């Protein structure tokens, strides 16, 4: 059963910028982000996501935050940071270049 993806305000903004901001729109990156989100929906531990805990960040209620790869072996490769939310859901915290 697929998980439901909930987005923080920050993550919604990040995705919106990729989709609609003409100055920052990057269709190749948007395609990779959508693929990553699709894999998170079906299997957060999918091998290609290389999901692992991200120690420098915690969720709003102290949840353990995970990092999933959008890109690999790329300068400033993009990542999706997320945590488990309500039962059957994960919360996307932010979508950004690797800090």
The superfamily CATH assigns to domain 4-97 is RelE-like (3.30.2310.20)
**pTM assigned to the model:** 0.89
For residue 33, give every residue at least 6 positions away whose Cβ sits within 8 Å of its Cβ, in sequence order, or none: 15, 18, 70, 78, 80, 95
Q: Give tens-digit pLDDT for 8-60.
A: 999 999 998 888 876 666 788 889 999 999 999 999 999 999 999 998 888 88
Q: Give tens-digit pLDDT for 7-22.
A: 999 999 999 888 887 6
Q: Is 52 exposed, middle or buried (0-12, 13-18, 19+ CB in 10 A)?
A: exposed
Residue 98: the pLDDT is 77
Ranges of each domain in the chain? 4-97
CA distance 57 to 51: 15
């Amino acid at each position: 059963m697929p998980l439901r993806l909930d987005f923080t305000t920050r993550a919604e903004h990040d995705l919106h910028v990729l989709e609609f901001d003409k100055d920052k729109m990057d269709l190749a990156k948007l395609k990779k982000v959508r693929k990553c989100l699709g894999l998170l929906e079906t299997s957060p531990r999918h091998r290609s996501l290389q999901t692992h805990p991200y120690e420098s960040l915690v969720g709003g209620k102290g949840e353990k935050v995970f990092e999933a790869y959008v890109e690999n072996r790329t300068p400033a490769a993009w990542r999706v940071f997320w945590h488990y939310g309500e039962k059957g859901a994960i919360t996307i915290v932010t979508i950004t270049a690797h800090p």
